[in-house]
């Protein structure tokens, strides 16, 4: 038997199960298959399109998108047939990374190659758009799918419902919920969980509970995600007794709470200052063989930070390291925030530079809290320095960053500069919110500029921004 034949059989045995189960190729198997492919190519023999598709899928799942794209190029050179099964995994990989331009480009390429997009192609692109809040574009994709007689499935509707719920447009989400049933599609637990989460985000826990009841009456069992969403919604409303009821009900239903379920409850306890109960939950987690991960530790570090207990936070950070976890920018940002809240600006700066020395990139939150603390103390030159530095490092300010700067400038009556940043944020597509207007209105009132204050108030109303009692 020639080496070429042996390699072909070995490659086939590596990929045959994945051909039947498209996402079954494990990381080690991908590497093994690629080595066998290279050996075959050196010997002048080549596998078929199925094998290439499996390899492209495996590489796309690993995030090796350029290498996967290269294999499509090889297929085309060999005259092998490309299909949606070839392109969909790669489109999914680009969408997961938020690279919508590249994903859309691949869709255009597949159409040129006469590989018709499937419902999975459209669903993936819609999900990528929904994650970015581009609902008009996602709806356009949905309409395009219908125009091309590609029938949407329940995943298509779940995707759009998810997008609208993220933006707080629960009314449009429920219209889609009705439409999917009109098309004789059966909602799944994912459909209900997405709607329940949307309602909880808006604080409408009562309707969320009615929806859970409807789901169960239809024979769809609530899962861990359902209960975790309800626990989170209860915690946000400050109703920890209800959160505990949902958590206990989850256990009674025979469901095993995961790390996220525990972390959600711990966040609620810490937000209300009950560190004892939070640590009891951590012990319970570990008793169930669910060791805390970096996210859980960051929650614990942030809890004492919020209550000003820096010593406890530092001890937890050290324990995190002992447990083999590496503190990230979130961990350091929590410590920096605690120092700033306690008025320790110099110490916060030291922690900030320690963070940089470890190769960690500060986020917009890190810079915003530094800008806010220094601007509030009247140290505007340092606040402006952080503001310029963040942009030089490719970290873009948001409306909260601009508000912090405008507020600091307003306090020291540097209104010309405050207005300069007010104009700049709009030029960058960052819309002012009620806090931006309230800051400017307040400072103009303090200075006796009543006409300007009234002009800003009228502009605020024209933009459908609702004032609060402070305004």
Q: Which domain holds residue 392?
A: 368-471
Tell me the average pLDDT across 89-115. Answer: 91
Tell whether 373 is covered by a domain. Answer: yes
In a domain, 243, yes or no: no
Same domain flag for 91 and 143 = no
Contact 271, 299 (CB under 8 A): no
Shared-domain flag, residues 43 and 155: no
The CATH number covering residue 81 comes to 1.25.40.10
169: three-class secondary structure by DSSP: coil
Same domain, 110 and 138: no
Position with higher pLDDT, 471 vs 454: 454
For 195-239, write each residue's pLDDT tens digit. Answer: 999 999 998 999 999 999 999 999 999 999 999 999 888 888 878
CA pair distance 39, 27, nearest whole angstrom: 19
* Pair 151, 197 in one domain: yes
pLDDT over 90 (residue 260): no
For residues 249 and 26, which has the higher predicted lDDT (pLDDT)?
249
Kindly state whether residues 397 and 463 are assigned to the same domain. Answer: yes
pLDDT tens-place string over residues 393-412: 888 899 999 999 999 999 88
Angle between helices 154-166 and 170-182 (to 10 degrees): 170
Q: Which of 64, 92, 117 is the last residue of a domain?
A: 117
Length of the chain (residues): 471
142 and 106 inside one domain: no
Residue 340 falls within a domain, yes or no? no
Number of domains in the chain: 3
Q: Who contacts 396 (Cβ-Cβ below 8 Å, separation ≥6)?
A: 364, 390
Confidence of residue 466 (pLDDT cuts 50, 70, 90): confident
The answer to whether residue 278 sits within a structural domain is no
Name which of 436, 442, 360, 440 is nearest 398 in CA terms: 436
Rg, Å, the chain Cα set: 27
Q: Same domain for 91 and 6?
A: yes
35 inside domain: yes
* pLDDT 10s digits, 108-152: 999 999 999 999 999 999 999 998 888 999 999 999 999 998 999
If asked whether residues 5 and 105 sit together in one domain, one would say: yes
User: Is the domain of 58 the same as that of 90?
Assistant: yes
> Is residue 380 assigned to a domain?
yes
Contact between 222 and 215 under an 8 Å Cβ cutoff? The reply is yes
- Asked if 21 and 100 sit in the same domain, the reply is yes
**Secondary structure (3-state) at 432:** coil
> Quick check: 158 pLDDT over 60?
yes
pTM exceeds 0.75: no
Across 268-283, b (16+ Cβ under 10 Å) vs e yields bbbbeebbebbeebbe
**Domain identity same for 380 and 456:** yes
| CB-CB contact of 55 with 15 (8 Å) | yes
* 286-317 tens-digit pLDDT: 788 877 777 777 776 776 566 666 676 677 77
Is 92 part of any domain?
A: yes
Residue 456 lies in a domain: yes
Q: Is a pLDDT exceeding 50 seen at residue 3? A: no
Percent of the chain with pLDDT over 90: 44
Bigger pLDDT: 452 or 285?
452
- Of 157, 190, 221, which one is at a domain's C-terminal end? 221
Among 235, 306, 222, CA closest to 266: 235
Among the three residues 88, 117, 146, which one is the final residue of a domain in this structure?
A: 117
Whether residues 147 and 214 fall in one domain: yes
4: buried, middle or exposed (CB in 10 Å: 19+, 13-18, 0-12)?
Answer: middle
């Amino acid at each position: 038997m020639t080496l070429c034949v042996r390699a072909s059989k070995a490659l086939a045995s590596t990929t045959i199960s994945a051909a039947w189960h498209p996402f079954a190729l494990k990381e080690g198997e991908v590497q093994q298959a690629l080595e066998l492919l290279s050996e075959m190519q050196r010997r002048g023999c080549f596998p078929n399109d199925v094998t290439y598709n499996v390899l492209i899928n495996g590489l796309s799942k690993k995030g090796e998108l350029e290498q996967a794209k290269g294999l499509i190029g090889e297929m085309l050179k060999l005259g092998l047939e490309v299909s949606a099964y070839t392109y969909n995994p790669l489109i999914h990989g680009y969408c997961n990374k938020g690279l919508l331009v590249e994903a859309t480009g691949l869709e255009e390429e597949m159409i040129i190659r006469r590989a018709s997009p499937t419902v999975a192609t459209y669903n993936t692109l819609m999900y990528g758009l929904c994650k970015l809040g581009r609902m008009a574009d996602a709806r356009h994709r949905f309409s395009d799918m219908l125009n091309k007689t590609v029938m949407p499935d329940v995943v298509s509707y779940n995707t759009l419902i998810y997008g609208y719920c993220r933006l707080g447009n629960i009314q449009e989400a429920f219209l889609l919920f009705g439409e999917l049933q009109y098309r004789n599609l059966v909602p799944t637990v994912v459909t209900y969980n997405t709607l329940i989460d949307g309602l909880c985000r808006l604080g409408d826990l009562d309707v969320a509970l009615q929806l859970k009841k409807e789901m169960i009456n239809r024979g769809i069992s609530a899962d861990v995600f359902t209960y975790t969403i309800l626990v989170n919604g209860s915690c946000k409303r400050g109703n920890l007794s209800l959160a505990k009821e949902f958590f206990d009900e989850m256990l009674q239903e025979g469901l095993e709470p995961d790390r996220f379920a525990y972390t959600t409850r711990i966040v609620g306890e810490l937000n209300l200052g009950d560190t004892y109960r939070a640590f009891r939950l951590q012990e319970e987690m570990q008793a169930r063989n669910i060791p805390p991960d970096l996210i859980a530790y960051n929650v614990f570090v942030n809890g004492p930070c919020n209550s000003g207990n820096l010593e406890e936070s530092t001890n937890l950070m050290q324990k995190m390291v002992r447990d083999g976890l590496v503190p990230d920018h979130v961990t350091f940002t929590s410590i920096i925030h605690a120092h700033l809240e306690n008025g320790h600006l110099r110490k916060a700066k030291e922690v900030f530079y320690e963070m940089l020395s470890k190769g960690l990139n500060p986020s917009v939150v890190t810079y915003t809290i530094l800008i806010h603390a220094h601007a509030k103390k009247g140290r505007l030159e340092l606040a402006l320095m952080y503001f310029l530095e963040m942009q030089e490092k490719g970290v873009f300010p948001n409306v909260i960053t601009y508000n912090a700067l405008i507020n600091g400038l307003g306090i020291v009556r540097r209104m010309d500069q405050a207005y300069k940043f007010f104009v700049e944020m709009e030029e960058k597509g960052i819309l002012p919110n009620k806090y931006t207007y309230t800051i400017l209105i307040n400072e103009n009132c303090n200075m006796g500029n009543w006409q300007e204050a009234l002009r800003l108030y009228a502009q605020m109303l024209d933009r459908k921004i609702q004032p609060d009692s402070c305004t």
